[in-house]
Amino acid sequence: MKKHPPLRSAVGASAPDRIMVYGHDFVGELLGQATLSSMAFLALTGRKPSANEARVFDAIAITLIEHGMTPMAMATRLTYLGAPESLQGAVAAGLLGMGTRFGGGAEAVAAMLRQALPDAAAAHDTQALAVQVFESHAAGKRPLPGLGHNIHKPIDPRTPKLFEIAREAGFEGPYVALLCAIADVTADKTGKVLPVNATGAIGALCCELKLPAEAPRGIAVFARAIGLVGHLVEEGKNPIGRTMWERVDEEINAAHFSENSAG
Amino acid sequence: MKKHPPLRSAVGASAPDRIMVYGHDFVGELLGQATLSSMAFLALTGRKPSANEARVFDAIAITLIEHGMTPMAMATRLTYLGAPESLQGAVAAGLLGMGTRFGGGAEAVAAMLRQALPDAAAAHDTQALAVQVFESHAAGKRPLPGLGHNIHKPIDPRTPKLFEIAREAGFEGPYVALLCAIADVTADKTGKVLPVNATGAIGALCCELKLPAEAPRGIAVFARAIGLVGHLVEEGKNPIGRTMWERVDEEINAAHFSENSAG
Amino acid sequence: MKKHPPLRSAVGASAPDRIMVYGHDFVGELLGQATLSSMAFLALTGRKPSANEARVFDAIAITLIEHGMTPMAMATRLTYLGAPESLQGAVAAGLLGMGTRFGGGAEAVAAMLRQALPDAAAAHDTQALAVQVFESHAAGKRPLPGLGHNIHKPIDPRTPKLFEIAREAGFEGPYVALLCAIADVTADKTGKVLPVNATGAIGALCCELKLPAEAPRGIAVFARAIGLVGHLVEEGKNPIGRTMWERVDEEINAAHFSENSAG
Amino acid sequence: MKKHPPLRSAVGASAPDRIMVYGHDFVGELLGQATLSSMAFLALTGRKPSANEARVFDAIAITLIEHGMTPMAMATRLTYLGAPESLQGAVAAGLLGMGTRFGGGAEAVAAMLRQALPDAAAAHDTQALAVQVFESHAAGKRPLPGLGHNIHKPIDPRTPKLFEIAREAGFEGPYVALLCAIADVTADKTGKVLPVNATGAIGALCCELKLPAEAPRGIAVFARAIGLVGHLVEEGKNPIGRTMWERVDEEINAAHFSENSAG
């Protein structure tokens, strides 16, 4: 029989009088001192954030909440309509819509920036790197992630604010500069002005904070869980899910029977 | 055809240059100022928390993260093993285990306390209410939620800390008093000492903060999403999901074929 | 340390040259002989169905597919819109809407009938049982499950067909009789004619087939998974999810900004 | 405001006395005649299967059920442990593990075969196509899907049976021939004998039946839903989820406290 390795985890462990979390005594060192976002930072990096890191991290996380009536928010409300006993199921349904089409942007930006500049501390020519990134995407006919927005035109109002917060906290570094340079090169070469959007800014700031590769998507998951819980609290008070459904169902039934009886 | 009501939501709305969230200008009023937990408080209540409310709310939320190797954490890791491309799917799978058996405690405590004391400001006799709650549960042979813990004995170390934080913030009020009185009555009447556990403390503090009925479960959903993301970041570096699976699979296959070939 | 029991399962087991499923050699005894629904019957009961059982079981299962544009179908399509790479995630999201409001009917009918008549073979007075069931629900102000339909009036066209199939197969027995008697008693006592609906018929037929308590919900889960896959195949060819979303999003944004700029 | 297209769906529609499914009267044409798998075939293709198509389709579908103690089955049981009130949530959790690592094989095989041979009726040289497929994968260092199995060695016992069923039904055509030729070429060129596995056979048979690209994954979704329901019925009678969990949790807690107290 195969010899299996022992199971180990540093996330948490419990004894009758103690709970350890990433090596910290939960009651003695964290409870009453750590905030929700500092615990999230700890979960992603294994260490507590400095005040400046926490400020940028909070800005990233609350931007990722996405409060609008997204397809995810609709799926969550429609699921709650059928299963009001399971708030967690409705949130889970919404999270499942966070896929490649709406959920992968910041991750792609961070990967693009890290590939171009693996070591932030190394000497480098930002402008040359930006041209190189632009050209490799153009050659592969791949769109550049993190630029332009279909609603927030000409600029995404969140981007300058995110960069301002990063600047004040000392985190407006080489990845932010590189992404802005890529946007400039794109405008020069194509004539299309596509400024850095919020997703792009978040991807760059995840690099500045040295967060792991899973961070953009991981932060989006719990941030959107917060947003979806908010949608459900409102749905509990002023439900609109049933109307969303009945309108669609009625239109499809009416079309079906009128079209088929017409002939 | 049925006349449908218009669709309205106060959660969020977007215009090209502006994003509104619960009536606030997101960029001008929230970004750079609000923390992740203050946004969560806003999503639950429609208003920003005071500093004292935020402190208690953070304590509740980080306690609900639950870092241990729960069945939810295992389900998340096993799902990631098969679908590493979908971090959100693995977190969603874990959240689905947050049901009546492990997830409903704080909600039940809050409901019990609010039923006994609908108006916290009204004059009341804590001791008499506690006896009444104890007796109605005993009569219905229903267990009292929020008392005792199968691991953290004799006391759950999180409870005194949570109450201390609440006291400092001015939120150790009538619901905390009532729950503690229920624990005392239970000890007197049954001889079993079952102190208030963390779940009970959280249920009482949700009442003290006047959070809506969905709050205990809603906070647990996004808090546990944070914990599950942490498990996946670790699983990415030091995977243990495969070993969890192979041990079980091997044991079941071996038993099956040895038992059936034995005859 | 606690002594844990061994892990055993009769569902399946694998050896290099053999796969066992519920005690049958999968390749030698099932593949090429068993249908999808007979495998489902085996999963629910541990035994293969007779031809008559299979006929009734197929009728139950295909009725539970529910092809319409339910909230579940909408949630599935909206999830696919965001995550087209994960067909399984979109189906999972849809299944989560199968809760107490739309999913529990047949289960409740089966439970009601089995409580009234635990042993189908025992001598009993159908009319007296029906009155007793009616009165216990009336006393508790609980609605009787399985009667009436908000669209299919005056009768649900699936019910007589389901009972006809059962009759031909020899499964129109005491549970069907009892449910029909309950409908008659209800009409007599309340003056409201609420014939047995498809959900009711399915609940009764699950009792006639002696399926386990999990059957109505379990069959609904995999039957609806089939229906949801069908919705996604159509969504891939003629997508409508984006339009569902854009109409709602536009209405909410327009209302928000017009109302708030009006003052 | 944007002009939105009308919403249309051919899946299903309801009127008071009629239910239409893919253009068929559900009660008059399908109920009592269609089986569960013929309805699934209808959902995938828009038409009813012939008897021979149905036989091959059933063989594909029941092979995809996967009865073993997979990570998906474990996630389903662990989710049920926490949320026994939500059978659908536990099945949904299991389906989410059907990702790229365990779920994509048949899809990849079908895509590979269709790319090599877009028109099954066109004249072609099977051997030359097989060499070409082998070489393009070797050049890109991409593994060939559908060959070899880590447990079922030297051959997967399901493959010859699946091909036999297809042969009898008249569906052992050019895609089966091509996949077998690819396996032969691979053995010749690499010296490694990797026969076609069940996943490969299913991918080829989906091509023979002219099923849409979504079919391999779509069939796997509902087939596995059946398997997972079976696991839950067993878990209801002979629960093993708690033992799976307690063993892991105990090992991790013990290691944590012994290691950290050792120093």
- Digit-coded pLDDT (tens) for B43-56: 999 999 999 999 99
Assess D24–C contact: CB distance below 8 Å, yes or no. Answer: no
- What does the pLDDT read at residue D261? 54
- Asked if residue A183 has pLDDT above 80, the reply is yes
SS3 readout for D133-199: HHHHHHHCCCCCCCECCCCCCCCCCHHHHHHHHHHHHCCCCHHHHHHHHHHHHHHHHHCCCCCECHH
* Tokens describing residue D165: 């069923």
Contact D70, C199 (CB under 8 A): no
Taking contacts as CB-CB distances below 8 angstroms, the residues of chain B near C83 are 86, 88
D212-225: average pLDDT: 96
Assess B19–C contact: CB distance below 8 Å, yes or no. Answer: no
> In terms of Cα–Cα distance, which of D22, D3, D4 is closest to D12?
D22
Backbone angles phi, psi at C179, to 5 degrees: -65, -40
Assess B185–A contact: CB distance below 8 Å, yes or no. Answer: no
- What does the pLDDT read at residue C262? 43
Taking contacts as CB-CB distances below 8 angstroms, the residues of chain A near D89 are 86, 88-89, 92
Assess B255–C contact: CB distance below 8 Å, yes or no. Answer: yes
CA distance A199 to A63: 9
Minimal Cα distance from B242: which residue of D? D71
Share of chain A above pLDDT 70, in %: 97
Buried (b) or exposed (e) across D231-244, using 16+ Cβ within 10 A? bbbbbeeeebbeeb
* Tokens describing residue A155: 């600029």
Assess A6–D contact: CB distance below 8 Å, yes or no. Answer: yes
Q: Which chains touch D (3 or more CB pairs under 8 A)?
A: A, B, C
Measure A9 CA to nearest chain D CA, in Å.
6
CA distance C235 to A259: 20
Share of chain B above pLDDT 70, in %: 97
Contact D101 B84 (CB under 8 A): yes
- Asked if residue A132 has pLDDT above 60, the reply is yes
- Check residue A196 and report its DSSP letter: B
Contact D86 B71 (CB under 8 A): no
CA distance C194 to C197: 8
Taking contacts as CB-CB distances below 8 angstroms, the residues of chain A near C79 are 71-72, 75, 93, 96-97
Question: Which range (B22-31, B32-41, B199-208, D2-11) has the least confidence?
Answer: D2-11
A229-243: average pLDDT: 97
Assess D198–C contact: CB distance below 8 Å, yes or no. Answer: no
Buried (b) or exposed (e) across D145-174, using 16+ Cβ within 10 A? bbbbbeebeebbbbbebbbebbeebebbbb
Assess D65–C contact: CB distance below 8 Å, yes or no. Answer: yes
Taking contacts as CB-CB distances below 8 angstroms, the residues of chain B near A236 are 212, 214
Name the band, by pLDDT with cuts 50, 70 and 90, for residue C151. Answer: confident
Contact B255 C14 (CB under 8 A): no
CA distance D23 to D47: 10
- What does the pLDDT read at residue B151? 87
Share of chain C above pLDDT 70, in %: 97
Share of chain C above pLDDT 90, in %: 89
- What does the pLDDT read at residue B102? 73
CA distance A108 to B98: 31
- What does the pLDDT read at residue A103? 66
> In terms of Cα–Cα distance, which of C237, C239, C231, C234 is closest to C95?
C231
Q: Whole-model pTM? A: 0.96
Name which of D256, D258, D259 to mutate to probe chain A: the one with the most chain A Cβ atoms within 10 A of its Cβ. D256
Name the band, by pLDDT with cuts 50, 70 and 90, for residue B229. Answer: very high
- What does the pLDDT read at residue D262? 43
- What does the pLDDT read at residue A66? 86
Contact B175, B122 (CB under 8 A): no
Measure A114 CA to nearest chain C CA, in Å.
25
What rounded mean pLDDT belongs to chain D?
A: 94
- What does the pLDDT read at residue B103? 66
Q: Which of residues 206-245 of B touch D (CB under 8 A)?
A: 241, 244-245
- Asked if residue D99 has pLDDT above 60, the reply is yes
Backbone angles phi, psi at C14, to 5 degrees: -125, 140
Name which of B67, B78, B231, B232 to mutate to probe chain D: the one with the most chain D Cβ atoms within 10 A of its Cβ. B78
Per-residue pLDDT reduced to its tens digit, B209-224: 999 999 999 999 999 9
Rg for chain C, CA atoms, rounded: 23
* Tokens describing residue D235: 């878990």
- What does the pLDDT read at residue D259? 63
Per-residue pLDDT reduced to its tens digit, B60-82: 999 999 899 999 999 999 999 99
Contact A89 D85 (CB under 8 A): no
- What does the pLDDT read at residue B101? 79
CA distance B194 to B192: 6
- What does the pLDDT read at residue D1? 59
- What does the pLDDT read at residue B100? 80
- What does the pLDDT read at residue A99? 86
> In terms of Cα–Cα distance, which of D174, D148, D168, D175 is closest to D159?
D148
- Other Cβ atoms less than 10 A from the Cβ of C2: the count is 7
- Other Cβ atoms less than 10 A from the Cβ of D200: the count is 32
- What does the pLDDT read at residue B75? 98
Exposed, middle or buried: residue B23 (CB in 10 Å: 0-12, 13-18, 19+)?
A: middle
- Give, for A111, the enclosing helix (H) or strand (E): helix A105-116
- What does the pLDDT read at residue A263? 36
Interface TM-score (ipTM) > 0.90? yes
Q: How many residues does chain D have?
A: 263
- What does the pLDDT read at residue C263? 36
- Check residue A25 and report its DSSP letter: E
SS3 readout for chain B: CCCCCCCCCCCEEEECCEEEECCEEHHHHHCCCCCHHHHHHHHHHCCCCCHHHHHHHHHHHHHHCCCCCCHHHHHHHHHHHHCCCCHHHHHHHHHCCCCCCCCCHHHHHHHHHHHHCCCCCCCCCHHHHHHHHHHHHHHCCCCCCCECCCCCCCCCCHHHHHHHHHHHHCCCCHHHHHHHHHHHHHHHHHCCCCCECHHHHHHHHHHHCCCCCCHHHHHHHHHHHHHHHHHHHHHHHCCCHHHHHHHHHHHHHHHHHHHHHHC
> In terms of Cα–Cα distance, which of D257, D236, D235, D199 is closest to D60?
D199
Taking contacts as CB-CB distances below 8 angstroms, the residues of chain D near C39 are 62, 65, 226
Contact C7 D250 (CB under 8 A): no
Residue A137 neighbours by CB under 8 Å, 6+ apart: A143, A144
Q: Note if the bond before C154 is cis, omega within 30 degrees.
A: yes
Contact B248 C86 (CB under 8 A): no
Name the band, by pLDDT with cuts 50, 70 and 90, for residue C153. Answer: confident
Question: Which range (B92-96, C12-16, C19-23, D29-33) has the least confidence?
Answer: C12-16
Name the band, by pLDDT with cuts 50, 70 and 90, for residue A262. Answer: very low
- Report strand pairing: B18-21 vs B12-15: antiparallel
Name the band, by pLDDT with cuts 50, 70 and 90, for residue C260. Answer: low
**Direct distance between the N- and C-terminal alpha carbons of chain D, in angstroms, rounded to an integer:** 69
Contact D13 A92 (CB under 8 A): no
Taking contacts as CB-CB distances below 8 angstroms, the residues of chain C near A245 are 69-71, 74
Q: Note if the bond before D154 is cis, omega within 30 degrees.
A: yes
Q: Which residues pair with A15 in a beta bridge?
A: A18
Locate tokens 């089939």: which residue?
A: C226
Per-residue pLDDT reduced to its tens digit, C89-142: 999 999 999 988 876 789 999 999 999 999 999 999 999 999 999 999 999 999
Share of chain A above pLDDT 90, in %: 89
Name the band, by pLDDT with cuts 50, 70 and 90, for residue C12. Answer: very high
Q: Which chains touch C (3 or more CB pairs under 8 A)?
A: A, B, D
Assess A249–B contact: CB distance below 8 Å, yes or no. Answer: no
Longest pairwise C-alpha distance within chain A:
77
What rounded mean pLDDT belongs to chain A?
A: 94
- What does the pLDDT read at residue B259? 63
Q: Which residues pair with B21 in a beta bridge?
A: B12, B24
Assess B72–D contact: CB distance below 8 Å, yes or no. Answer: yes
- What does the pLDDT read at residue D103? 66
Contact D9 A92 (CB under 8 A): no
Q: Which of A68, A86, A252 comes nearest C99 by C-beta?
A: A86
Minimal Cα distance from B248: which residue of C? C7
Contact D222 C217 (CB under 8 A): no
Taking contacts as CB-CB distances below 8 angstroms, the residues of chain D near B68 are 249, 253
Strand spans (E) along chain A: 12-15, 18-21, 24-25
Contact B239, B81 (CB under 8 A): yes
